[in-house]
């Protein structure tokens, strides 16, 4: 399978703990996006990479969130000092640089903060 | 900032009937994309519209991009149980890297 891969699929953590998610995009895709989705809502943009450069970060994203994409390959999203409001599905997507390309989403990581 | 809105939020359809879902943006879009998310799944790309007034068809699905490039619609004819899911529209603006999604229209089908 050469689609977008996310790990883990599910994560349950206690409030105040740190969590890290990983995303492996489609290999030839240079753009990588992180979105967050809660029940009944559309995906909400968090941040975006072109190769290894983080080009945009949502103003809604607090300083507790950080993302990296070393060497322009896989990406990690870390949430520090988790809060119950962080509970959501975290979706990763990748796309080609050329033109206006569709996003290919992974299956997501469902985070539950207790 | 850009906002993308969709109506209705929920659509309950009798199998065999037609329905339309609408998407409106507060700003002019470079393009609009439509995605479908099945229950428990992730969004899957359906189609992209780029030109003003563009109409594209995929079997029973007809997608339209408005003349002002600020609105779009998805029309499904003869709804089937396989059409169940949430349909999202999403758009890029010319000066924006991110794809902004609407809240989606969740479709259920009565057999």
CB B20 within 8 A of CB B6: no
Cβ distance B103 to A42 less than 8 Å, yes or no, reads yes
* Average pLDDT of every residue of chain B: 94
pLDDT of residue B93: 76
Tally C-beta pairs within 8 A across A and B.
55
pLDDT of residue B3: 85
Residue range A6-51, pLDDT digits in tens? 999 999 999 999 999 999 999 989 999 999 999 989 999 999 999 9
Which of A102, A105, A107 should one mutate to test binding to chain B, selecting the residue with the greatest count of B CBs within 10 A?
Answer: A102
- Pick from B42, B50, B104: CB nearest A91: B42
pLDDT of residue A99: 63
User: How far apart are the CA of A36 and the nearest CA of chain B, in angstroms?
Assistant: 11
Interface of B with A (CB under 8 A): 4, 6, 9, 30-31, 33, 35, 41-45, 48, 50, 88, 90, 92, 97-104, 106
What number is the average pLDDT over the span B17-39?
95
Residue range B63-95, pLDDT digits in tens? 999 999 999 999 999 999 999 999 999 998 776
Residue range A96-110, pLDDT digits in tens? 876 678 999 999 999
Confidence of residue B98 (pLDDT cuts 50, 70, 90): confident
Cβ distance A91 to B43 less than 8 Å, yes or no, reads yes
């Amino acid at each position: 399978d050469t689609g977008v891969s996310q790990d883990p699929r599910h994560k349950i953590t206690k409030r105040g703990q740190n969590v890290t998610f990983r995303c492996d995009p489609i290999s030839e895709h240079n753009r990588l996006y992180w979105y967050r989705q809660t029940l009944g809502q559309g995906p909400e943009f968090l941040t975006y990479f072109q190769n290894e450069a983080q080009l945009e970060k949502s103003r809604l994203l607090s300083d507790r969130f950080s993302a990296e994409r070393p060497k322009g390959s896989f990406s990690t999203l870390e949430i520090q000092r988790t809060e119950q409001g962080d509970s959501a599905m975290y979706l990763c997507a990748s796309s080609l640089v050329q033109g206006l390309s569709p996003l290919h989403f992974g299956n997501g990581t469902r985070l539950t903060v207790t | 900032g850009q906002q993308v809105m969709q109506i209705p939020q929920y659509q309950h359809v009798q199998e065999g009937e037609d329905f339309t879902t609408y998407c409106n943006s507060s700003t002019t879009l470079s393009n609009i994309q439509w995605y479908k998310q099945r229950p428990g799944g992730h969004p899957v790309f359906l189609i992209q519209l780029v030109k003003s007034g563009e109409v594209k068809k995929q079997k029973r699905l007809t997608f339209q991009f408005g003349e002002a490039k600020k609105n779009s619609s998805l029309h499904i004819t003869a709804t089937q149980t396989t059409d169940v899911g949430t349909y999202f529209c999403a758009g890029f603006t010319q000066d924006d890297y991110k794809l902004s999604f609407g809240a989606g229209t969740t479709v259920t089908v009565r057999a």
